[in-house]
Chain A
Amino acid sequence: MLYEHPLSFYALSLVAVVILLAGLATVINLWRQGQAPPSAQWTTQGLLKTLLFKVLFQVQILRRSWLRWIMHMAIFWGILALFAQTAFLTLLQWVIPRSTSFSQYFFQGPGRLALDFWGDFWGLVLLVGLIIALVRRYLVRPPQLETLFDDAIALWLLVLVVVSGFVTEAVRLALASPMDGGGLSFIGRPLANLIGTLGASDPMTWFWIHGVTALVAIAYIPFGKFIHILTVPVELAFSDEEDREREGRERAYGT
């Protein structure tokens, strides 16, 4: 075991969650200064449609630009999948007893290979999305983009998280024995070989860089651009229902 899972990291995680919750409370309190909106006539079918098409597959972005759709889908699904992996690993580490066959399957069995592949695959997907975003924002510079500090910090935080994630994995693999996993880490393994030839550094340094940037990104959610993770699905639930009502009336007049 290369990592010591220091308590100080978990204490820091707690601080990040507290900042996240306090920030959310402040921003929700700000919204609540407004009046109650007219009640929406939601249907389960309508909400599921919105969730599937607009939130998960973001067809509204595809209608405007396929490149921006690929970019946003890559970032969205990349983060979601990597967050799910982190949550799963936390469960394996702290909740599910090590002696269970389920736990053994993922620590020593074929499940480990699947996790290696999952992490590298979705990390790559996220990286591709971020590279498209960086190229658009800083090289192509389409007239529609305007870069404020908030736009830049959100993007660079994610870049730092994903790049440090790959390096952390590579340093770990470079220092571990070949039997210690990484069989399907198709990015981590070549990177580990490269680091091995350069001389691997202390794995904990990279663990901290990756961990802290990820925690900063989480704590930053209510204070900047990342708030759209919460607000956009809520707004889509409202406005999609209103659009459907308009479209329903229109169907009475043919096409």
Chain B
Amino acid sequence: MGLSLKHVSWRQVMEVFACTRCGECSNWCPVYQQNHDCSVLPRNKAQAIKDLLKRQYGLWARLRGAQSPGEEEVTTLLSQPLYQCTVCGQCHYVCPAGINTMELWEAWRASLVDSHYGPLDAHQALVTSIENNANPWQQPRSTRDRWAVRATKEKRIQPVPTCDRIRPEVLYYVGCTASYDMNVKEVAINTSLVLQAAGINFAILGRQEACCGSTLLRIGERQRFEELARKNIEQFNSLGIKTLVASCAGCYKTIKQDYPKVGKLNFQVLHITEYIHQLIQSQRLNFNNQVPMVVTYHDPCHLGRHNGVYNAPRQVIKAIPGIELVEMERNREFSRCCGAGGGVKAGFPDLQASMAIARVRDAEATGAQALVSACPFCHQGLQLGVNAAESSLVVRDITELVVMGLQSKDEEQEALAGAQSQKK
């Protein structure tokens, strides 16, 4: 079967012909730097697509009939290299032709799915789980708000209302990772604490919250993504909110950039770092606690390169008294991907681990005590890297630092005591 172009635009077909094969991408690609497999390089992926397309639609195909590639050929030439890519977007920023690789690789993954060459077997479980449980973690939907219930019981946060009880101005879209991962739920708790400290009229969707569909889109399941996105857009629009805040960079990118291609949104979408920055500017958040710590900031790909949000998180970190921010050599648009995104963590866990270790080594070189990020998924990935590298670095989400700056030591101790007594 030939490659389907149902979800590929003419621009994206042209883009593979715009690659000059200069090889600049090979100096930067974080995947290639770990596995040294040339086929994963953008240059080689573009060449492979070009060769397959020419056989299907080129002059020779017109004269002698189209030649469809075999499954094994597509798997070797295209599926494996495309799915080993985290779609971090680094290649776009160094490509002299400016090829929008962030969209390009996802479009060609959709082509693989449409042509029944994708996704990978390892991704099938994620797809099934999203369809059955509305999350990729194979967790029941009924426990999606457990983090909030527990944190409230432990008196760590005030009760977080759900949208069916109040009409909020702000919807905090928690996302699957912060909702279900025991080690990352702190992101959801800290985000709630920050919003409560600023007195924001906000709510969560609780058990009514469904996966944003980012995973589906990244692995090429575009049709399934569009169906899910349509339902979510309808739900969000019916809430009458002014702002949707996401603490996950992947959810943020999906809702802000990808949803408008499916349907119109009647609210603005902000990442939590952008929102906190606004709250600090308007003096609704005031820090009264010193946080003496040297930290380095890891730009999540979906927040940085994909959305251009580099300054807001840095401004937030700098606003916290006592914190010293040191930059890694590769930062902002050149930030090295932690390897967690694009379906790589599920499809190629060893590759993800080595990418995360490389990023942890970058952070260690700065002499920082903590590696800070602004995405639960990166948090998960980087934590894996810290463990694998046996590093002394502590991985923290930016909201945790904000809470540390807001709460005095006494309040922190009080919250901790509350949590411990609940556990007993």
Contact = CB atoms under 8 A, between A and B. Distances in A.
Interface stretch (B1-9, B242-250, B359-367): B1-9
Interface in B305-330: 307-312, 315
Contact of A35 (B9, B43, B54): B9
Given A27-B17, A29-B57, 14 more contacts: A33-B13, A34-B5, A35-B5, A37-B12, A38-B261, A54-B98, A64-B94, A146-B38, A146-B43, A148-B21, A231-B15, A239-B99, A243-B98, A249-B308
Interface string B227-241: 000000000000000
Nearest to B12: A34
Interface string B1-44: 00001111111111101111111101100000000001000011
A154 to B, nearest CB: 10
Nearest to B21: A151
A238 interface: yes
A244 B164 CA distance: 40
A143 B26 contact: yes
B97 interface: yes
Interface in B35-82: 38, 43-44, 47, 53-54, 57-59, 62
A145 interface: yes
B58 A30 contact: yes
B100 interface: yes
A222 to B, nearest CB: 9
Given A30-B58, A34-B10, A254 B315 contact: yes
A185 to B, nearest CB: 33
A250 interface: yes
A60 B9 contact: no
A59 to B, nearest CB: 10
Interface string A231-244: 11011101110110
B277 interface: yes
Contact of A23 (B57, B59, B92, B307): B59
A4 interface: no
> Interface on chain A toward B: helix, strand, loop, or mixed SS?
helix
A137 B320 CA distance: 51
A60 B38 CA distance: 24
A158 to B, nearest CB: 14
B96 A61 contact: yes
Contact of A239 (B44, B58, B100, B307): B100
A231 B100 CA distance: 13
A26 interface: yes
Interface residues of A, number: 47
B251 to A, nearest CB: 18
A216 to B, nearest CB: 17
A31 interface: yes
Interface in A215-234: 225, 227-228, 231-232, 234
Interface string A112-155: 00000000000000000000000000000011111010110000
B26 A144 contact: yes
A60 to B, nearest CB: 5
Contacts of B15: 231, 235
Given A34-B9, A231-B17, A240 B98 contact: yes
A247 B311 CA distance: 11
B274 interface: yes
B5 A146 contact: no
A58 B96 CA distance: 8
B369 to A, nearest CB: 25
A232 B97 contact: yes
B26 A225 contact: no
6 contacts: A34-B13, A37-B10, A37-B11, A38-B261, A228-B20, A231-B14
